[in-house]
Structure formats: structure tokens, C-alpha cells
Amino acid sequence: MKIAVLLAPREFEVVDIPVPDIEPDEVLVHVAACGVCTSELDIWDGSADVGGFPRYPGHEVSGIVEKAGEEVVGLKEGDPVSVWTTGKGFAEYVAVKAEHCLSAGSVPLDLALGEPLACAVNAVELAGISLGDDVVLIGAGFMGNLVQKLVALRSPRHLIVADTRSDALARAEQLGATRVVNVQSESLSDAVRDLTDGRGADVSFEVTGVQAPLVMLGNVTRMSGKLVIVGYHQGGMREIPLADWNYQAFQIVNAHFREEATIMRGMRIGMRLLTSRRLRLDGLVTHHFPLHEINRAFQTAHEKPKGFVKSTVEINGAGAH
Ligand SMILES: [Zn+2]
């Protein structure tokens, strides 16, 4: 089977290896699509110190069950699934524990993105949004969009979305933001103050992974409100105004998740919402690439051209659409 291996920075190669064998509690999944995750970009361009090459990224897998091990119950050949895996997803097949496969129902497989959904679900759950809350969301990329859609299911009063890109803000507005703020031309804290009678938001999310919006969180949130860090903060040190955050009695929520049980719980909730159409990701995967163009899929995710939300790699055979 074909699999993409990263041999050096920005240098994927598609190679042939044997189809993996499965254990009795595993299934073999014929991969339809594997999303390109922002967390993989620093591995791809060599800026992350991750212990050398070769590497096999790819953890946002969906596909069709090809074969189920003899101990597997509830999954059979032909079932469409969203898969949690820690890598090797840019391949024709993955062998995974059956418990890491969730039904994709009739969701188009390029949109059956259980893994990123799990992160967004867990973040919104941990943030504990209440009915009628005023919510600020900084960052309107793919993960920001997911968080926005999930927060909307909790019926906030104001859902204020901030970013620096006008195309991303136009999309956030389409997705139901009650107010969008381009922080390059407008003060987010002024806008939030106006909308909340000077009080500030109950909960604010940072979904960018960069420094500046972290500081902004504290400027838009009410006393004792929640600051939720969803962005993936790797690389250099980050600074936060802890004296102010401490004085304001903020609840600081680190919405990054590592434990398998937590990830799977978020994924189950996310896929339940997705397969029931309570949540729709239509239009959020904007760029599709075949496996042999995986370098271009990563390059595009890195450059984020106008209108870009997310790229995915589609593997021939299992049919992503
Ligand atoms: Zn991911």
C-alpha cells in the first residue's frame, strides 16, 4: 500500500509498504481522507524539534472498514468511520483499535473529522458555557470555527469573533457570530465593553496559538470570568499578565487534552452531533489534494491563501465524497 513519509523538512515521499496486519481487537480501515492539522505544520517545515526523520504524520483519518478482527463487535466491513490515530494516516490503510473508530453515518468522509472535533468539544465542555452567556472567541480559523459552532449550540447572548483576516471574519459572520471584530482596525475590548454594558464577556476563548491574543483575553473578560486557551502554543515562551489575571480572579482554563479517554469522549460527542446533523462542517474543508500532492496540501495549509480553512488529503479508492 502507499503511505506518505516525511523524509526531511518539506519533503514528503509516497512509498510502498505492506498493508498492516490487525490484532483481534483491531480493524483495518481503507482510508478515504486524512486532514492536515496545524499542529503538524511545524513538523513538516522542520521548525519543531521532534527527534528527526523519517516521520509519519496524519491523525485526522476517516474511511471504510475493510476488515475487522475476530474480537471486534459492532463494526463490520463496509462501515464508514472516523478514526482516532496518532499518526501514519496519510496512507491507503490504517490498522487501529476498534474502540478508536466511530461511525461516520452518512457524513461525507472528508468532513468526518472526529479528532479535531474532539478537541473543540472538550474545550467547550470544560469552559462550561451557560445559556445566555456573553462569549468572545479570538481566532476564526478551522478550530475557531468548530469552537464557534459548538458554543452556538449552548445559546450564548453575544458571540463575538475576532481575527485579523477579513475573509475569516466574513465566514464567522455567516456561521452565526453576532458581532465580528477585525483587531487590525478596531479595538476588541471597546467592542466587547459596548455590547456588555462595560462588564466584559463571561467566557473568552483564544484559538490562535500565538502570543498577542493571549494577552487580549484578559482585556475582554469580566471579573471572575473564564479565559480558555485552546490554541496550540508550541515553540517560544509565552507571556501572560498574571498579576492582572490574578487580581481579576479569572478562571484560567487550559483546553489542551492529551489523555486518550478524554479525547475519545470528546470524539464520541462530536460524532454524535455530526452524524445527527446537529452540527455541520459543510464548507470548512476548502482544499482537497490527492496523496501524491501531499506536499502541496501542507504548503497550502502553511500559506493559508484567501478563503482557506482546511486542507485534506484524499486517498484513492475509498471515495471521500
Ligand atoms: Zn489534529
Query: Which domain range does residue 10 map to?
Result: 2-113+281-314
Same domain? For 61 and 164 the reply is no
Q: What is the CATH number of the domain that holds 104?
A: 3.90.180.10
Which residues fall within 8 angstroms of residue 16, CB to CB, at 6 or more apart? Answer: 1, 2, 3
- Percent of the chain that is helix, strand, coil (3-state, to 5): 30, 25, 40
Nearest to 182 by CA among 167, 201, 198: 167
Ligand 1 centre distance from Cα of residue 84 (Å): 10
Q: Is 300 in contact with 310 (CB distance < 8 Å)?
A: no
Mean pLDDT, range 109-129, rounded to an integer: 97
Q: How far, in Å, CA of 258 to CA of 40, rounded?
A: 16
Please check the confidence at residue 320 and state whether its pLDDT lies above 60: no
Residues 121 and 250 in one domain: yes
pLDDT tens-digit map of 267-282: 999 999 999 999 999 9
Confirm whether 130 is domain-assigned: yes
Ligand 1 centre distance from Cα of residue 37 (Å): 4
Distance 187 CA to ligand 1 centre (A): 31
User: Model confidence over 305-319: pLDDT tens digits?
Assistant: 999 999 999 997 544
CA 259 to centroid of ligand 1, rounded, Å:
14
* Ligand 1 centre distance from Cα of residue 115 (Å): 6
Residue 304 lies in a domain: yes
Q: Which residue has the higher pLDDT, 52 or 239?
A: 239
Q: 105 C-alpha to center of ligand 1: Å?
A: 21
Residue pair 196/220 in contact by the 8 Å Cβ criterion: no
Within-domain flag for 264: no
How far, in Å, is the centroid of ligand 1 from the Cα of 214? 21
Please check whether residue 263 lies inside any domain of the structure: no
pLDDT at 235: 81
**Residues 73 and 150 occupy one common structural domain:** no
Instruction: Report whether pLDDT(262) > 70.
Output: yes
Sign of the CA dihedral with 66 first, then 86, 285, and 4 last: negative
The pLDDT of residue 317 is 54
R_g of the chain, CA atoms, integer Å: 20
Cα dihedral 75, 81, 84, 86 sign: positive
Q: Would you say residue 147 has pLDDT above 70?
A: yes
Please tell me the predicted confidence (pLDDT) of residue 321: 43
Q: Which residues are placed with Cβ below 5 angstroms of ligand 1, an ion?
A: 37, 116
- 100 and 121 assigned to the same domain: no
Is residue 308 within 8 Å of residue 38, measured between CB atoms?
Answer: no
Q: Tell me the pTM.
A: 0.95
Beta-bridge partner residues of 60: 35, 84
24 and 127 belong to one structural domain: no
DSSP state of 320: -
Residue 306 lies in a domain: yes
Report the separation in Å between the CA atom of 249 and the middle of ligand 1, taken as the mean of its atom positions.
Answer: 32
> Domain for residue 240, yes or no?
yes
How many whole angstroms from 46 Cα to the centroid of ligand 1? 18
Do both 122 and 237 map to the same domain? yes
Whether 88 and 154 share a structural domain: no
Domain total of the chain:
2
